[in-house]
Amino acid sequence: MRFNVLSDDTKICVVMVGLPARGKSLIAGKALRYLAWVGIPAQIFNVGTYRRLDNPQPAAAFFDPSNPEGERMRRAAAQAAVSDMLKWFREGRGIVAILDATNSTKARRRWIHESCRNAGVETLFVESTCDDEDIIINNIREVKTTSPDYKGQDPEVAARDFRERIRNYEKVYETIDEDEKEYTYVKLVNVGSTVIINQIKDYLSSRLVYYIQNLHIKPRSIWLSRHGESEYNLEGKIGGDANLSTRGEAYARALPELLRKSGVPKDAKVTIWTSTLKRTIQTARHLAAETGYDKLEWKALDELDSGVCDGLTYAQIAERYPEDFKARDEDKYNYRYRGGESYRDVVIRLEPIIMELERSENVIIVTHQAVLRCIYAYFLNMSQEKSPWMEVPLHTLIKLTPRAYGTDEQRFKADIPAVSTWRGKGTSAHHQEVPEHMRV
């Protein structure tokens, strides 16, 4: 489902609430990527970024509520962030702003709510609370290694300082309660094990809340792989339901070891997802047999439907449908094959997959080039213009690890040759014939 039922004056400020190390920035970052992925213009306004302009690496004492200078500077940073956010709305530059900060007192939240209301902007408060010490420790480890506040500092010193910062915030922290029942809010307790929703009134807020309540902040990775080289790949044909080539079968046999080399956590629960097409099922079968991981087939992971062009080479498409070939080069994301799909259509059918991915822990997805591009674009915040042209080589395993401030990426290439199926924008449609000796 897409956000296609928005009124012209829809404006929402998503206000993050919570103590440090409760996953607020992770949730904010994911929400921003999701909104961009489905075509909703959005931006994060991080109060810490404004505060760092004057105090780039403050010690914990800066956050002590009894420190008047620290309190003044933190209030000024919040005011600057809200001012810039409201200006951004006035200029018509977006629909959803995410105010990322602790926003830890009722007075601060009331000020934000009133400032937004006076500007014609709705507020959606998102509070993340957690008393699970293991999760908090993991988040502290994440922050001390990735936050700009601790860049270049000794990790253990950073961890001690950050714990002291949390204790300072705890002195004044007020959770959202009955006093604020007129607000629209969602509360995530212990990584979403309990979700409390209040006063959700509009369509966009309900979609955002549905997305947010599927998130968790436990550490995990997602592995992406195209199927092994197929018989159609050797012939330069698109679509179809071809079997693997001999080299594609070799990749299928090598995939379990490639996954082990990528660093699967010991005793991690991993699930294998494939499409319903033969080449992905064949690629994953040795992986499932050797690891014992559960395997699921998803129709939503099937390759982009190329309609009347299914089974053709690019040269044949250019010859039979020259206007279509040119139109696809000009706007590949929105171009829809005759009787088939566009990349935009694929994103729509992948939304339930993304929701399920966010609920899951460790998943390896064996899928197709266009589908993998769309999933990759979601995690790496790649633009709609660039994602359809992304080069995704065969026989390569991509490991993505979501972090609070982005997604780490590693690639592991199997030592098994394969043809290149990538065609750059505006390049020749003619497929380079594969020499006979390479078809073994």
pLDDT(370) > 90? yes
- Mark whether 132 is an active-site residue: no
Handedness of CA 306, 309, 311, 314 (dihedral sign): negative
User: Between the CA of residue 236 and those of 125, 348, 416, 430, 438, what are the distances in Å?
Assistant: 51, 27, 19, 9, 14
Q: What is the residue range of 346's domain?
A: 222-439
How would you list the strands of the sheet with 42-46, edge to edge?
42-46, 96-100, 12-17, 122-129, 185-189, 194-198
- Same domain membership, residue 202 and residue 230: no
CATH number of the domain residue 140 falls in = 3.40.50.300
Report if residue 424 sits inside a domain.
Answer: yes
Collapsing DSSP states into helix, strand and coil, what is residue 44?
strand
Residue 77 token pair: 């940073």
Reduced to 3 states (helix: H, G, I; strand: E, B; else coil), residue 349 is helix
Q: State residue 97's pLDDT score.
A: 98
The active-site residue out of 216, 227, 368, 395 is 227
**pLDDT for the residue numbered 135:** 81
275: tokens are 């499409």
The closest alpha carbon to 362, from 257, 262, 248, belongs to: 262
For 220-248, the pLDDT digits (tens) are 899 999 999 999 999 999 999 999 999 99
Decide which of 212, 243, 276 is a domain's last residue.
212
Please give the Cα distance from 349 to 101 (Å, whole number): 33
Question: Mind listing the pLDDT tens digit for each residue in 304-315?
Answer: 999 999 999 999
- In this structure, the answer to whether residues 185 and 301 fall within a common structural domain is no
Is there a single domain that holds both residue 181 and residue 319? no
pLDDT for 137: 86
What is the predicted pLDDT for the residue at 429? 63
Do 202 and 227 share a domain, yes or no?
no
- The answer as to whether 5 is a domain residue is no
100, 122, 324, 341: which one is catalytic? 100
- With respect to residue 372, please indicate whether it lies within any of the assigned structural domains: yes
Structurally, how many domains does the chain consist of?
Answer: 2
75's enclosing H/E stretch is: helix 68-90
**pLDDT for position 8:** 54
Of all residues in the chain, the percent with pLDDT exceeding 90 is 75
What is the rounded average pLDDT of the residues 4-13?
68
Query: Is the domain of 208 the same as that of 118?
Result: yes
| Tens digit of each residue's pLDDT (9 = 90 or more) over 96-127 | 999 999 999 999 999 999 999 999 999 999 99
DSSP-derived 3-state class of residue 229: coil
Q: Is residue 311 part of a domain?
A: yes
303 is catalytic: yes
Domain boundary among 152, 181, 212: 212
The pLDDT mean for the chain works out to: 91
Residues 339 and 358 in one domain: yes
Active site includes 216?
no
- Residue 138: per-residue pLDDT: 81
CATH of the domain at 415: 3.40.50.1240
Q: Which residue has the higher pLDDT, 249 or 130?
A: 249
Type and span of the H or E element at 278: helix 278-291
- Cα(348)–Cα(305) distance, integer angstroms: 13
Last residue of one domain, picked from the residues 186, 212, 238: 212
Q: Is residue 1 part of a domain?
A: no
Residue 178 and residue 268 in one domain: no
**Among 311, 423, 292, 296, which residue's Cα sits nearest to residue 366?**
296
Query: Rounded to two decimals, what is the model's pTM?
Result: 0.84
- Which residues have C-beta within 8 Å of that of residue 118, sequence separation ≥ 6? none
Q: What is the DSSP letter of 227?
A: P
Q: What is the pLDDT of residue 26?
A: 84
Does 242 lie in the same domain as 203? no
- Please pick, among 149, 229, 303, 324, the residue that the annotation labels catalytic: 303
Q: Is residue 217 part of a domain?
A: no
pLDDT band at residue 145 under the 50/70/90 scheme: low
Do 338 and 399 have their domain in common? yes
Q: How confident is the model at residue 430 (pLDDT cuts 50, 70, 90)?
A: low
Which of 81, 218, 74 has its CA nearest to residue 136? 218
pLDDT of residue 190: 83
Stretch 403-426: mean pLDDT, rounded?
89
Is 3 part of a structural domain of the chain? no
- Do 298 and 343 belong together in one domain? yes
Do 204 and 274 reside in the same domain of the chain?
no
The model's pLDDT over 50-64, given as tens digits with 9 standing for 90+, comes to 999 999 999 999 999
* pLDDT tier for residue 144 given thresholds of 50, 70 and 90: low
**Phi/psi-derived region of residue 408, left when phi > 0, alpha when psi is between -120 and 50, beta in every other case:** beta
Domain presence at residue 389: yes
Tell me the Cα Rg of the chain: 24
Q: Is the pLDDT of residue 218 over 80?
A: no
Same structural domain, 331 and 202: no
Confidence of residue 428 (pLDDT cuts 50, 70, 90): low
Strand order in the sheet with 294-297: 294-297, 270-274, 362-367, 222-226, 396-403, 406-413
Say what percent of the chain tops pLDDT 70: 94
